Amino acid sequence: MRLLNTTSPDFEAGFAALLIRAQTAPALSAAVADIIARVRAEGDAALLDYTRQFDRLEMEASGLRVPQSAIAAALARQPTELRDALELAAARIKTFHEAQLPRDFESVDATGATTGLRWGALDAVGLYVPGGKAAYPSSVLMNAIPARVAGVERIAMTVPAPGGVLNPLVLAAAGIAGVDEIYQIGGAQAVAALAYGTASIRPVDRIVGPGNAYVAEAKRQVFGQVGIDSIAGPSEVLILADEANDPRHVALDLLAQAEHDEDAQSILITTNAAFAAAVQNAVMSALSNLTRAPIAAESWRRHGGIILVRGWDEAVTLANRIAPEHLQLMLDDPAPIFRQIRHAGAVFLGRHTPEAMGDYVAGPNHVLPTSGTARFASGLSVYDFMKRTTYVGLTPEALSALGPAAITLATAEGLTAHAGSVAIRIPKA
**How far apart (Å, rounded) are the C-alpha atoms in residues 290 and 310?**
33
What phi, psi does 156 have (nearest 5°)? -105, 120
DSSP letter string, 12-33: HHHHHHHH--PPPPHHHHHHHH
Quick check: is 343 catalytic? no
Q: Are 185 and 51 in contact (CB under 8 A)?
A: yes
Q: Are 281 and 247 in contact (CB under 8 A)?
A: yes
Choose, from 97, 260, 303, 326, the residue flagged as catalytic.
326
**Other Cβ atoms within 10 Å of 417 Cβ, number:** 8
**How far apart (Å, rounded) are the C-alpha atoms in residues 414 and 418?**
9
Q: In what order do the strands lie in the sheet with 105-108?
A: 105-108, 114-121, 386-393
Q: In what order do the strands lie in the sheet with 2-5?
A: 2-5, 305-308, 265-270, 236-241, 326-330, 346-349
Instruction: For residue 329, give the H/E element and its range.
Output: strand 326-330
Choose, from 325, 343, 355, 366, the residue flagged as catalytic.
325
**How far apart (Å, rounded) are the C-alpha atoms in residues 280 and 295?**
17
| Crossing angle for the helix pair 44-55 and 26-42, to the nearest 10 degrees | 130
Q: Are strands 346-349 and 386-393 parallel, antiparallel or unpaired?
A: unpaired
**How far apart (Å, rounded) are the C-alpha atoms in residues 50 and 59?**
11
Quick check: is 325 catalytic? yes
Nearest to 181 by CA among 145, 208, 153: 153
**Residues noted as catalytic:** 325-326
